[in-house]
Chains A and B, each alone.
Chain A
Amino acid sequence: MTESPPPPQPFDASKITRPDDSLLVYYLLVAACTVVGFPFVFLPLWIRFKTLRYRFDDTGVSMCWGYFFRREVHLTYRRLQDIHVTRNIVERWMGLSKLPLQTASGTAGATMQIEGIRAPEPLRDFLYAQMRGARNETLDSESDDGEDDVLGVLTEIRNELRRIRNEPAGDET
Protein backbone atom coordinates (compact mmCIF):
# COMPACT_ATOMS: atom_id res chain seq x y z
CA MET A 1 0.00 0.00 0.00
CA THR A 2 1.47 3.30 -1.06
CA GLU A 3 0.22 6.66 0.04
CA SER A 4 1.79 10.05 0.46
CA PRO A 5 2.29 11.43 3.98
CA PRO A 6 0.91 14.86 4.90
CA PRO A 7 3.21 17.81 4.23
CA PRO A 8 5.41 18.91 7.16
CA GLN A 9 4.37 22.02 9.02
CA PRO A 10 6.75 24.66 10.38
CA PHE A 11 7.71 23.78 13.90
CA ASP A 12 10.02 25.53 16.34
CA ALA A 13 11.49 23.10 18.81
CA SER A 14 13.38 25.79 20.70
CA LYS A 15 10.08 26.99 22.11
CA ILE A 16 9.82 23.82 24.18
CA THR A 17 11.47 24.61 27.48
CA ARG A 18 9.05 23.17 30.03
CA PRO A 19 6.92 20.06 30.14
CA ASP A 20 3.19 20.53 29.81
CA ASP A 21 1.38 21.34 33.05
CA SER A 22 -0.73 18.23 32.80
CA LEU A 23 2.42 16.20 33.45
CA LEU A 24 2.02 17.15 37.11
CA VAL A 25 -1.48 15.69 37.07
CA TYR A 26 -0.08 12.56 35.50
CA TYR A 27 2.58 12.33 38.21
CA LEU A 28 -0.16 12.80 40.78
CA LEU A 29 -2.06 9.86 39.31
CA VAL A 30 1.07 7.73 39.20
CA ALA A 31 1.77 8.52 42.85
CA ALA A 32 -1.86 7.89 43.78
CA CYS A 33 -1.58 4.36 42.42
CA THR A 34 0.84 3.55 45.23
CA VAL A 35 -1.74 4.28 47.91
CA VAL A 36 0.47 4.12 50.98
CA GLY A 37 3.62 5.39 49.34
CA PHE A 38 1.96 8.48 47.93
CA PRO A 39 4.06 11.16 49.70
CA PHE A 40 7.29 9.29 49.07
CA VAL A 41 6.55 8.81 45.40
CA PHE A 42 4.96 12.16 44.76
CA LEU A 43 7.57 14.41 46.35
CA PRO A 44 10.45 13.39 44.04
CA LEU A 45 8.12 13.55 41.05
CA TRP A 46 6.92 17.00 42.08
CA ILE A 47 10.50 18.24 42.41
CA ARG A 48 11.27 16.67 39.07
CA PHE A 49 8.34 18.43 37.48
CA LYS A 50 9.22 21.78 39.04
CA THR A 51 12.84 21.67 37.96
CA LEU A 52 12.52 19.99 34.59
CA ARG A 53 13.89 22.16 31.78
CA TYR A 54 14.48 21.38 28.13
CA ARG A 55 16.66 23.23 25.71
CA PHE A 56 16.60 22.51 22.01
CA ASP A 57 19.32 24.32 20.07
CA ASP A 58 20.86 23.99 16.64
CA THR A 59 23.08 21.05 17.40
CA GLY A 60 21.52 19.20 20.24
CA VAL A 61 19.08 18.92 23.05
CA SER A 62 19.70 19.13 26.75
CA MET A 63 17.47 18.52 29.71
CA CYS A 64 18.06 19.00 33.40
CA TRP A 65 16.07 18.25 36.51
CA GLY A 66 16.47 17.67 40.21
CA TYR A 67 17.14 19.85 43.21
CA PHE A 68 18.92 17.67 45.73
CA PHE A 69 20.03 15.21 43.09
CA ARG A 70 20.73 17.28 40.03
CA ARG A 71 20.94 15.66 36.62
CA GLU A 72 21.79 17.27 33.33
CA VAL A 73 21.79 15.36 30.10
CA HIS A 74 23.08 16.70 26.81
CA LEU A 75 23.05 14.98 23.48
CA THR A 76 23.61 16.05 19.92
CA TYR A 77 21.05 15.27 17.28
CA ARG A 78 23.54 13.52 15.09
CA ARG A 79 24.32 10.96 17.78
CA LEU A 80 20.72 9.91 18.01
CA GLN A 81 20.24 6.27 17.17
CA ASP A 82 16.57 5.61 17.79
CA ILE A 83 13.59 7.78 18.49
CA HIS A 84 10.66 6.21 20.26
CA VAL A 85 7.30 7.63 21.04
CA THR A 86 5.40 5.78 23.75
CA ARG A 87 2.01 6.64 25.07
CA ASN A 88 0.21 4.60 27.64
CA ILE A 89 -3.50 4.82 28.02
CA VAL A 90 -3.54 7.45 30.78
CA GLU A 91 -1.10 9.60 28.86
CA ARG A 92 -3.27 9.29 25.76
CA TRP A 93 -6.31 10.41 27.70
CA MET A 94 -4.39 13.42 28.94
CA GLY A 95 -2.80 14.09 25.59
CA LEU A 96 0.71 13.52 26.87
CA SER A 97 3.51 11.40 25.52
CA LYS A 98 7.05 10.32 26.23
CA LEU A 99 9.91 10.48 23.77
CA PRO A 100 12.73 8.22 24.87
CA LEU A 101 15.81 9.04 22.81
CA GLN A 102 18.44 6.40 22.36
CA THR A 103 22.12 6.87 21.64
CA ALA A 104 24.71 4.17 21.22
CA SER A 105 25.65 4.30 24.88
CA GLY A 106 25.85 1.23 27.02
CA THR A 107 22.87 1.93 29.18
CA ALA A 108 19.96 -0.33 28.48
CA GLY A 109 17.37 2.38 29.05
CA ALA A 110 16.91 5.50 27.03
CA THR A 111 19.68 8.06 27.22
CA MET A 112 17.17 10.82 27.55
CA GLN A 113 13.48 10.61 28.09
CA ILE A 114 11.57 13.69 27.07
CA GLU A 115 8.33 13.74 29.01
CA GLY A 116 5.18 15.74 29.04
CA ILE A 117 5.00 16.69 25.40
CA ARG A 118 1.70 17.50 23.81
CA ALA A 119 1.40 16.48 20.17
CA PRO A 120 4.71 14.63 19.90
CA GLU A 121 4.60 14.16 16.14
CA PRO A 122 6.06 17.56 15.14
CA LEU A 123 8.85 17.22 17.71
CA ARG A 124 9.52 13.69 16.60
CA ASP A 125 9.65 14.75 12.97
CA PHE A 126 11.97 17.60 13.91
CA LEU A 127 14.33 15.23 15.70
CA TYR A 128 14.06 12.77 12.85
CA ALA A 129 15.03 15.47 10.36
CA GLN A 130 18.11 16.27 12.46
CA MET A 131 19.12 12.65 12.74
CA ARG A 132 22.04 11.21 10.92
CA GLY A 133 21.01 9.77 7.58
CA ALA A 134 17.65 11.46 7.39
CA ARG A 135 18.83 13.93 4.77
CA ASN A 136 20.88 13.57 1.66
CA GLU A 137 24.12 15.06 2.92
CA THR A 138 26.49 14.00 0.18
CA LEU A 139 24.55 15.95 -2.42
CA ASP A 140 24.37 18.97 -0.14
CA SER A 141 28.11 19.10 0.42
CA GLU A 142 28.88 18.73 -3.29
CA SER A 143 26.78 21.68 -4.23
CA ASP A 144 28.17 24.09 -1.64
CA ASP A 145 30.99 26.52 -2.33
CA GLY A 146 33.66 24.61 -0.38
CA GLU A 147 34.59 22.70 -3.48
CA ASP A 148 34.61 25.81 -5.61
CA ASP A 149 37.36 27.12 -3.32
CA VAL A 150 39.48 24.10 -4.20
CA LEU A 151 38.73 24.59 -7.84
CA GLY A 152 39.68 28.25 -7.54
CA VAL A 153 43.05 27.39 -6.01
CA LEU A 154 43.70 24.80 -8.70
CA THR A 155 42.82 27.34 -11.38
CA GLU A 156 45.25 29.81 -9.81
CA ILE A 157 48.01 27.18 -9.83
CA ARG A 158 47.36 26.46 -13.48
CA ASN A 159 47.40 30.10 -14.39
CA GLU A 160 50.62 30.61 -12.44
CA LEU A 161 52.25 27.64 -14.20
CA ARG A 162 51.08 28.95 -17.54
CA ARG A 163 52.63 32.32 -16.73
CA ILE A 164 55.92 30.69 -15.67
CA ARG A 165 55.93 28.62 -18.85
CA ASN A 166 55.27 31.62 -20.99
CA GLU A 167 57.80 33.95 -19.32
CA PRO A 168 61.08 32.10 -20.14
CA ALA A 169 59.79 31.53 -23.65
CA GLY A 170 59.30 35.25 -23.98
CA ASP A 171 62.89 35.91 -22.72
CA GLU A 172 64.50 33.63 -25.29
CA THR A 173 62.86 35.14 -28.31
Chain B
Amino acid sequence: MTAPVARSSPWIYRGVWKILVDCFRVPDHPPTLPVADGDFYRSFQPSRAFLSYLKFNFWVVAVVIDLLIAVALGVVAIEADKLALVLTGIAIPLLLVGHLVAYIALHLRYDTMWYVITDRSLRARRGIWVIYEHTITFENVQNVYLRRGPLQHLFGISEIVVETAGSSQGEAESPFASGNKLLVQGIEDAAELREQIMSRVSQSRSAGLGDDRPASPTSGFSPRHLAMLCEIRDEIKCL
Protein backbone atom coordinates (compact mmCIF):
# COMPACT_ATOMS: atom_id res chain seq x y z
CA MET B 1 0.00 0.00 0.00
CA THR B 2 1.44 3.37 -0.97
CA ALA B 3 1.81 6.17 1.54
CA PRO B 4 -0.93 8.50 0.19
CA VAL B 5 -3.43 5.64 0.24
CA ALA B 6 -2.48 4.77 3.80
CA ARG B 7 -2.92 8.38 4.81
CA SER B 8 -6.19 8.98 2.98
CA SER B 9 -7.94 5.75 3.92
CA PRO B 10 -8.64 6.65 7.57
CA TRP B 11 -9.75 10.04 6.36
CA ILE B 12 -12.22 8.51 3.91
CA TYR B 13 -13.35 6.07 6.54
CA ARG B 14 -14.03 8.86 9.00
CA GLY B 15 -16.07 10.59 6.31
CA VAL B 16 -18.16 7.47 5.69
CA TRP B 17 -18.61 7.10 9.42
CA LYS B 18 -19.75 10.69 9.78
CA ILE B 19 -22.27 10.27 6.97
CA LEU B 20 -23.63 7.17 8.67
CA VAL B 21 -23.92 8.94 12.00
CA ASP B 22 -25.44 12.12 10.61
CA CYS B 23 -27.63 10.91 7.77
CA PHE B 24 -28.35 7.31 8.68
CA ARG B 25 -28.67 7.91 12.43
CA VAL B 26 -26.23 5.23 13.42
CA PRO B 27 -25.49 5.78 17.11
CA ASP B 28 -21.82 6.68 17.54
CA HIS B 29 -21.60 6.02 21.26
CA PRO B 30 -21.54 2.65 23.00
CA PRO B 31 -24.81 1.34 24.46
CA THR B 32 -25.36 1.76 28.17
CA LEU B 33 -27.09 -0.21 30.86
CA PRO B 34 -28.58 1.25 34.02
CA VAL B 35 -26.54 0.15 37.03
CA ALA B 36 -26.33 1.21 40.64
CA ASP B 37 -23.27 3.22 41.59
CA GLY B 38 -20.21 1.15 42.24
CA ASP B 39 -21.52 -1.95 40.52
CA PHE B 40 -19.49 -3.79 37.95
CA TYR B 41 -19.81 -2.24 34.51
CA ARG B 42 -17.80 -3.02 31.43
CA SER B 43 -18.45 -2.18 27.81
CA PHE B 44 -16.22 -3.62 25.18
CA GLN B 45 -15.87 -4.35 21.49
CA PRO B 46 -14.60 -7.53 19.84
CA SER B 47 -10.82 -7.83 19.90
CA ARG B 48 -8.69 -6.54 17.04
CA ALA B 49 -8.03 -10.15 16.09
CA PHE B 50 -11.69 -10.39 15.12
CA LEU B 51 -11.14 -7.58 12.61
CA SER B 52 -8.19 -9.47 11.15
CA TYR B 53 -10.36 -12.56 11.02
CA LEU B 54 -13.07 -10.68 9.12
CA LYS B 55 -10.43 -9.28 6.75
CA PHE B 56 -9.00 -12.72 6.14
CA ASN B 57 -12.48 -14.01 5.30
CA PHE B 58 -12.95 -11.03 3.02
CA TRP B 59 -9.74 -11.70 1.09
CA VAL B 60 -10.49 -15.40 0.70
CA VAL B 61 -13.96 -14.67 -0.70
CA ALA B 62 -12.66 -11.83 -2.86
CA VAL B 63 -9.90 -13.95 -4.39
CA VAL B 64 -12.33 -16.78 -5.12
CA ILE B 65 -14.80 -14.43 -6.81
CA ASP B 66 -12.03 -12.70 -8.79
CA LEU B 67 -10.66 -16.03 -9.98
CA LEU B 68 -14.11 -17.24 -11.04
CA ILE B 69 -14.70 -14.06 -13.02
CA ALA B 70 -11.24 -14.27 -14.59
CA VAL B 71 -11.91 -17.84 -15.66
CA ALA B 72 -15.30 -16.85 -17.09
CA LEU B 73 -13.72 -13.97 -19.02
CA GLY B 74 -11.04 -16.31 -20.31
CA VAL B 75 -13.69 -18.68 -21.63
CA VAL B 76 -15.46 -15.78 -23.35
CA ALA B 77 -12.13 -14.60 -24.79
CA ILE B 78 -11.64 -17.94 -26.54
CA GLU B 79 -14.95 -17.46 -28.35
CA ALA B 80 -15.03 -13.71 -28.95
CA ASP B 81 -12.04 -11.41 -28.36
CA LYS B 82 -13.79 -8.06 -28.57
CA LEU B 83 -16.69 -9.02 -26.35
CA ALA B 84 -14.25 -10.24 -23.70
CA LEU B 85 -12.37 -6.92 -23.81
CA VAL B 86 -15.59 -4.96 -23.33
CA LEU B 87 -16.68 -7.25 -20.50
CA THR B 88 -13.28 -6.90 -18.81
CA GLY B 89 -13.60 -3.15 -19.04
CA ILE B 90 -16.94 -3.36 -17.23
CA ALA B 91 -15.95 -6.02 -14.74
CA ILE B 92 -12.76 -4.46 -13.36
CA PRO B 93 -14.30 -1.18 -12.11
CA LEU B 94 -17.33 -3.05 -10.78
CA LEU B 95 -15.11 -5.47 -8.89
CA LEU B 96 -12.97 -2.68 -7.49
CA VAL B 97 -15.97 -0.75 -6.26
CA GLY B 98 -17.50 -3.93 -4.85
CA HIS B 99 -14.33 -4.81 -2.99
CA LEU B 100 -14.00 -1.30 -1.61
CA VAL B 101 -17.59 -1.22 -0.39
CA ALA B 102 -17.26 -4.64 1.18
CA TYR B 103 -13.99 -3.66 2.82
CA ILE B 104 -15.46 -0.50 4.31
CA ALA B 105 -18.59 -2.38 5.38
CA LEU B 106 -16.41 -4.86 7.20
CA HIS B 107 -14.78 -2.08 9.20
CA LEU B 108 -18.18 -0.57 9.90
CA ARG B 109 -19.51 -3.90 11.04
CA TYR B 110 -16.64 -4.18 13.46
CA ASP B 111 -17.05 -0.63 14.73
CA THR B 112 -20.77 -0.97 15.36
CA MET B 113 -20.45 -4.09 17.52
CA TRP B 114 -20.67 -3.34 21.20
CA TYR B 115 -21.18 -5.40 24.31
CA VAL B 116 -22.01 -4.25 27.81
CA ILE B 117 -21.77 -6.54 30.78
CA THR B 118 -22.84 -5.77 34.33
CA ASP B 119 -23.46 -7.85 37.43
CA ARG B 120 -27.00 -8.57 36.32
CA SER B 121 -27.27 -8.42 32.61
CA LEU B 122 -25.71 -8.38 29.20
CA ARG B 123 -26.49 -6.09 26.31
CA ALA B 124 -25.28 -6.31 22.75
CA ARG B 125 -25.65 -4.01 19.81
CA ARG B 126 -24.76 -4.47 16.20
CA GLY B 127 -25.89 -3.51 12.75
CA ILE B 128 -25.73 -0.67 10.30
CA TRP B 129 -28.88 -0.87 8.20
CA VAL B 130 -30.95 -2.47 10.88
CA ILE B 131 -29.61 -1.85 14.35
CA TYR B 132 -30.28 -4.62 16.82
CA GLU B 133 -29.99 -4.15 20.53
CA HIS B 134 -30.50 -7.17 22.69
CA THR B 135 -30.71 -7.24 26.47
CA ILE B 136 -30.90 -10.28 28.72
CA THR B 137 -30.55 -10.67 32.46
CA PHE B 138 -28.37 -13.46 33.78
CA GLU B 139 -31.29 -14.67 35.87
CA ASN B 140 -32.97 -15.75 32.64
CA VAL B 141 -29.96 -17.41 31.06
CA GLN B 142 -30.42 -21.12 30.41
CA ASN B 143 -27.07 -22.06 29.00
CA VAL B 144 -23.85 -20.61 27.74
CA TYR B 145 -21.65 -22.20 25.15
CA LEU B 146 -18.39 -21.41 23.53
CA ARG B 147 -17.66 -21.91 19.85
CA ARG B 148 -14.40 -21.81 18.01
CA GLY B 149 -13.82 -22.84 14.43
CA PRO B 150 -10.39 -23.77 13.05
CA LEU B 151 -9.95 -20.34 11.48
CA GLN B 152 -11.01 -18.60 14.66
CA HIS B 153 -8.52 -20.81 16.51
CA LEU B 154 -5.81 -19.51 14.20
CA PHE B 155 -6.67 -15.94 15.13
CA GLY B 156 -7.04 -16.80 18.79
CA ILE B 157 -10.64 -15.75 19.13
CA SER B 158 -13.85 -17.51 20.07
CA GLU B 159 -17.50 -16.69 20.24
CA ILE B 160 -19.85 -17.19 23.12
CA VAL B 161 -23.55 -17.88 22.69
CA VAL B 162 -25.78 -17.03 25.64
CA GLU B 163 -29.20 -18.64 25.42
CA THR B 164 -32.40 -17.95 27.27
CA ALA B 165 -35.42 -20.20 27.32
CA GLY B 166 -37.56 -20.37 24.24
CA SER B 167 -37.38 -22.05 20.93
CA SER B 168 -34.90 -21.41 18.24
CA GLN B 169 -35.55 -22.81 14.84
CA GLY B 170 -32.74 -25.26 14.41
CA GLU B 171 -29.31 -23.73 14.33
CA ALA B 172 -30.45 -20.34 13.20
CA GLU B 173 -27.28 -18.52 12.40
CA SER B 174 -28.58 -15.05 13.03
CA PRO B 175 -28.97 -15.02 16.78
CA PHE B 176 -29.82 -11.37 16.70
CA ALA B 177 -32.93 -11.97 14.70
CA SER B 178 -33.95 -15.30 16.16
CA GLY B 179 -34.57 -13.88 19.59
CA ASN B 180 -33.45 -16.01 22.44
CA LYS B 181 -29.75 -16.22 21.70
CA LEU B 182 -27.16 -13.58 22.24
CA LEU B 183 -23.92 -13.97 20.34
CA VAL B 184 -20.72 -12.44 21.67
CA GLN B 185 -18.21 -12.59 18.86
CA GLY B 186 -14.49 -12.15 18.67
CA ILE B 187 -13.49 -12.71 22.28
CA GLU B 188 -9.86 -13.40 23.11
CA ASP B 189 -10.32 -14.39 26.76
CA ALA B 190 -13.45 -16.40 26.05
CA ALA B 191 -13.03 -18.90 28.88
CA GLU B 192 -12.68 -16.07 31.36
CA LEU B 193 -15.77 -14.30 30.07
CA ARG B 194 -17.72 -17.53 30.15
CA GLU B 195 -16.68 -18.07 33.75
CA GLN B 196 -17.78 -14.51 34.53
CA ILE B 197 -21.18 -15.13 32.99
CA MET B 198 -21.60 -18.60 34.46
CA SER B 199 -20.68 -17.50 37.97
CA ARG B 200 -23.37 -14.83 37.76
CA VAL B 201 -25.86 -17.31 36.34
CA SER B 202 -25.16 -19.79 39.13
CA GLN B 203 -25.54 -17.09 41.76
CA SER B 204 -29.19 -16.89 40.85
CA ARG B 205 -31.16 -18.93 43.36
CA SER B 206 -34.10 -19.78 41.19
CA ALA B 207 -34.33 -22.51 38.63
CA GLY B 208 -34.71 -20.38 35.59
CA LEU B 209 -38.31 -19.92 34.51
CA GLY B 210 -41.04 -17.84 36.02
CA ASP B 211 -41.31 -16.72 39.62
CA ASP B 212 -40.17 -19.27 42.11
CA ARG B 213 -39.28 -17.25 45.16
CA PRO B 214 -40.20 -19.26 48.26
CA ALA B 215 -43.47 -18.02 49.77
CA SER B 216 -42.60 -19.20 53.29
CA PRO B 217 -39.19 -18.55 54.81
CA THR B 218 -38.80 -22.16 55.98
CA SER B 219 -35.37 -22.51 54.48
CA GLY B 220 -34.34 -18.93 55.00
CA PHE B 221 -34.03 -18.46 58.78
CA SER B 222 -31.95 -15.48 59.67
CA PRO B 223 -29.50 -15.60 62.63
CA ARG B 224 -31.99 -13.68 64.74
CA HIS B 225 -34.64 -16.32 64.11
CA LEU B 226 -32.20 -19.06 64.99
CA ALA B 227 -31.26 -17.35 68.22
CA MET B 228 -34.92 -17.03 69.14
CA LEU B 229 -35.59 -20.68 68.29
CA CYS B 230 -32.67 -21.71 70.47
CA GLU B 231 -34.13 -19.69 73.34
CA ILE B 232 -37.46 -21.47 72.86
CA ARG B 233 -35.70 -24.83 72.89
CA ASP B 234 -33.93 -23.93 76.10
CA GLU B 235 -37.21 -22.83 77.64
CA ILE B 236 -38.80 -26.19 76.76
CA LYS B 237 -35.82 -28.06 78.16
CA CYS B 238 -36.22 -26.26 81.46
CA LEU B 239 -39.89 -27.20 81.74
B-binding residues in A (CB < 8 A): 1-6, 8, 78-89, 92-93, 100, 102-110, 124-125, 128-129, 131-135, 137-138, 141-142, 146-147, 150-151, 154-155, 157-158, 161-162, 164-165
Contact = CB atoms under 8 A, between A and B. Distances in A.
A104 B164 contact: yes
B127 to A, nearest CB: 8
B178 A108 contact: yes
Contact of A133 (B26, B138, B180): B138
Interface in B44-86: 44
Nearest to B41: A2
A87 B229 contact: no
A88 B165 CA distance: 26
Contacts of A133: 120-121, 137-140, 204
Nearest to A107: B167
Interface in B151-197: 164-169, 176, 178-180, 182
Contacts, number: 153
DSSP class of A's interface residues: helix, strand, loop or mixed? mixed
B32 A6 contact: yes
A165 B235 contact: yes
Interface stretch (B1-9, B90-98, B103-111, B206-214): B206-214
Contact of A132 (B140, B178, B232): B140
Interface string B217-239: 10000101100110110011011
Interface in B95-139: 120-121, 129-139
A134 B225 CA distance: 29
Nearest to A83: B135
Contacts of B228: 151, 154-155, 158
Given A86-B133, A147-B222, 17 more contacts: A1-B44, A6-B32, A78-B210, A89-B24, A89-B129, A89-B130, A93-B25, A104-B165, A106-B166, A108-B179, A128-B137, A131-B140, A133-B138, A133-B140, A135-B120, A150-B225, A151-B228
Contacts of B88: none
